[in-house]
């Protein structure tokens, strides 16, 4: 069993990631661009919560009275659900995954700006607050969107007979490998880190800084 798992992670997963490298690169560039756009261009107006954060606020409120284990499951499912929705609709020319990458990039950029402007956090503290779980969550999210993009771009080519069903099947199998071997474990671990290590790290680095004001 250990040998089979080792083969999956040393051969199958690297091969799948190499096959998707163009889509991963494109998704990363799009995401980073949208983070910068969200951070630099969002205009803060009063104390009203931006509409894009209302679902996150609702999730936070629903998690308040739950046990730590249930909170982790709820956060994991929320992140996985967002990824799967765009993946399932990726067949529409990859448009939904691209929109998802862009919107989430803007969301993070706006969130960082709010933390600096309203919470009085230095930008370095903002980055540190995202880093522990972000290094797991963001690559997993981007990888899932890259799978949706590739399948969305490939399906029309198969219909027009510019690619074969074998190409589509290989891309699908490689996408499954990325999902099961990388994205799912990374999202699960990210949920654990976000609810345990991240808050503790922030309290240790800057106990005097106020929390994000919403």
In a domain, 7, yes or no: no
Q: What is the pLDDT of residue 212?
A: 44
- Measured in residues, the chain has a length of 214
In a domain, 214, yes or no: no
In a domain, 4, yes or no: no
Long-range (24+ apart) CB contacts under 8 A made by 207-213 are 209/119, 209/120, 209/121, 209/125, 210/119, 210/120, 211/119, 212/111, 212/114, 212/115, 212/118, 212/119, 213/47, 213/114, 213/118, 213/119
Q: What is the pLDDT of residue 76?
A: 94
**CA angle at 56 for the pair 60 and 143, rounded to the nearest 5°:** 120
- Residues 129, 202 contacting (CB under 8 angstroms): yes
In a domain, 99, yes or no: yes
Q: Domain tally for the chain? A: 1
Helix (H, G, I), strand (E, B) or coil at 211: coil
- Residues 20, 178 contacting (CB under 8 angstroms): yes
Q: What is the pLDDT of residue 211?
A: 46
| Residue ranges in the chain assigned as alpha helix (H) | 2-7, 13-19, 21-41, 54-63, 68-88, 95-117, 123-159, 165-178, 184-195, 197-205
Range of the domain at 159: 13-42+51-203
Along the chain (214 residues), what's the average pLDDT of each consecutive run of 10 residues? 80 92 96 94 70 74 86 91 83 88 92 82 83 92 94 89 88 92 95 86 65 42
Q: What is the pLDDT of residue 46?
A: 61
In a domain, 212, yes or no: no
Q: Which two tokens stand for residue 74?
A: 């709820």
- Spatial distance between the Cα atoms of 33 and 10, rounded to a whole number of angstroms: 32
In a domain, 8, yes or no: no
Helices 123-159 and 184-195 pack at an angle, to 10 degrees, of: 160
Please name the residue that has the structure tokens 């699908």. Answer: 172
- Spatial distance between the Cα atoms of 133 and 188, rounded to a whole number of angstroms: 10
Measured CA distances, 119 to 54, 70, 109, 112 (Å): 18, 28, 15, 10
Query: Model's pTM, two decimal places?
Result: 0.86
Q: What is the pLDDT of residue 214?
A: 37
Q: What is the pLDDT of residue 50?
A: 65
In a domain, 66, yes or no: yes
Q: Which two tokens stand for residue 103?
A: 């919107």
Torsion of CA 64, 67, 71, 74, to 10 degrees: -100
Q: What is the pLDDT of residue 48?
A: 63
In a domain, 37, yes or no: yes
């Amino acid at each position: 069993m250990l040998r089979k798992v080792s083969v999956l992670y040393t051969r199958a997963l690297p091969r799948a990631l190499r096959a998707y490298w163009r889509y991963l690169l494109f998704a990363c560039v799009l995401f980073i661009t949208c983070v910068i756009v969200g951070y630099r261009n969002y205009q803060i107006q009063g104390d009203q919560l931006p509409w894009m954060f209302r679902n996150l606020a609702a999730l936070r409120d629903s998690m308040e009275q739950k046990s730590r284990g249930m909170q982790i499951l709820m956060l994991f499912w929320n992140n996985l659900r967002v990824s799967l929705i765009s993946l399932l609709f990726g067949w529409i020319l990859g448009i939904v995954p691209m929109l998802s990458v862009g919107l989430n990039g803007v969301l993070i950029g706006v969130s960082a700006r709010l933390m600096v402007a309203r919470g009085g956090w230095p930008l370095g503290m903002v980055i540190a607050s995202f880093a522990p779980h972000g290094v797991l969550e963001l690559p997993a999210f981007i990888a899932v969107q890259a799978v949706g993009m590739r399948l969305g771009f490939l399906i029309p080519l198969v219909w027009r007979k510019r690619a074969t069903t074998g190409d589509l099947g290989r891309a699908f199998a490689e996408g499954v490998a990325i999902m099961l071997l990388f994205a799912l474990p990374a999202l699960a671990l990210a949920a654990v880190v976000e609810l345990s290590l991240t808050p503790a790290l922030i309290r240790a680095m800057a106990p005097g800084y106020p929390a994000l004001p919403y």
